[in-house]
Amino acid sequence: MCDTFVQPGIHGWIFGKNSDREPNEVQIVEYHPPGSFNSTDQVQCTYTAIPQVEKTRGVVISRPLWMWGAEMGVNDKSVAIGNEAVWTREKIHKQGRLTGMDLVRLALERSSTAEEGVSTITSLLERYGQGGACGYRNKNFHYHNSFLVADPTQAWVLETAGEFWAAKKLSGPYAISNGLTIDQDFDLHHPRLVENAISRGFAKVNEPFSFQKAYRDSFYRFFSGCEIRRAMTTQSLSDHTPVSPSLDNLLLEAFARLRNHGEDPYGMGGFRGTRVCAHSANSLARDATQTTASLVASLEPGHPPQIFTTGTSAPCTSVFKPIPMSQDLRPLFGYPEHTMGETSLWWRHEKLHRLVIEDYSRNMPILEQERDELEQHILLSRSGSRSQELFALVEQAEQRWMEQILSMPRKPLSRYWQRQNRLAGFRI
């Protein structure tokens, strides 16, 4: 499960996304420079290879370690894309096609504008289809995809059901959360979208056609908790009042929006995943619901993108840090493995995250104020050339928070989290 939003910035757009996946599913942030290729070259995606294009754009992506594709990313033309799992009434192909994450990365590498990103995704979708197992350990996890695509001058929502799709150009803030949202007001669509829905009995000839009503799967729509999460983000976006309009304030609001736990900020219960800042808790409805990475980007005309990422799970326990577009990011994020180790930022932070959730209501107040102060400091000194220094500053703070929590009596984790720790070879 995931949550993604766009909102108008001071001069362009702000993009934000939480990537929610299995709790031990390490995510890595990396930069890939522009490339040049021959006409016979192929690109090996997660499950299938397709012809490569002559030139690709430089991209910063955040991807699960086992995938080729990306959960979210930004390219050197300030195009940002994130995807969401959605379930529809169309057949899901379980093998040998492009995943939604493949489509995100391919579109980032091949597009110079948001509209071109929409065109790239839909062209690839119609030619190669979408499908394949999308879970880390759960190989029965399959879905279709929706996307938010933005650049400095425009933003689009694109939603799919198998090979069929609809897209809408946005004029204001918008959020998506694992359910179809486009109603009757789409601007672009698959040429047989309405015809297929009517022939399958999803829509009636004499009634106004609604994409989401025709193609949505109501069971998974409820089971995923998507309507509750989307309502939380939409409310947060509509509550925005520019009392002191500045890019820094908009970015701080974006960070906070991805940390939203709803009316009970310290509550961790509930059967379904109904919090934007998601924490796994059971193997049925809250397994693939751990926020394993978060990203916010400011996209302004005439300026390179400003990209901030946690690079770690649980944005509530993490600090958003600036990253440059044009350099190797491995010195910042390390070299992750699939099990616990000290060579990656993701696993080092995971010690803090799993300590905090032992007693969330007691432990979170230890770090919240300093976390927010760190982000304000980072925004005042966010030059890409200082990323190494700022990352080190954050890790020093996280070490202090861990030491303070370890100095107090500890509570045992739930059986669910004890099992996750065993699978990851994780001990504190």
Q: How far is CA 188 from the centre of its chain?
A: 24
The answer for residues whose C-beta is within 8 angstroms of residue 134's C-beta and 6 or more apart is 85, 99, 100, 101, 141, 142, 143
Look up the CATH architecture of domain 2-326.
Answer: 4-Layer Sandwich (3.60)
Strand partners, 306: 298
Number of CB atoms found within 10 A of residue 244's CB: 7
pLDDT tens, position by position, 342-396:
999 999 999 999 999 999 999 999 999 999 999 999 998 876 568 889 999 999 9
* Alpha carbons 327 and 30: distance in angstroms, whole number: 9
CA–CA dist 422, 304 (Å, integer): 43
To the query of whether residue 316 is one of the catalytic residues in this protein, the response is no
Mean pLDDT of 165-180: 96
Per-residue pLDDT tens over the stretch 265-306: 877 888 788 899 999 998 887 888 999 999 999 999 999 999
As beta bridge partners, residue 42 has 51
Confidence of residue 240 (pLDDT cuts 50, 70, 90): low
Comparing 123-127, 222-226, 238-242, the range with the smallest average pLDDT is 238-242
Confidence of residue 166 (pLDDT cuts 50, 70, 90): very high
Q: Give the active site residue among 2, 134, 226, 277.
A: 2
Q: What is the pTM of this model?
A: 0.96
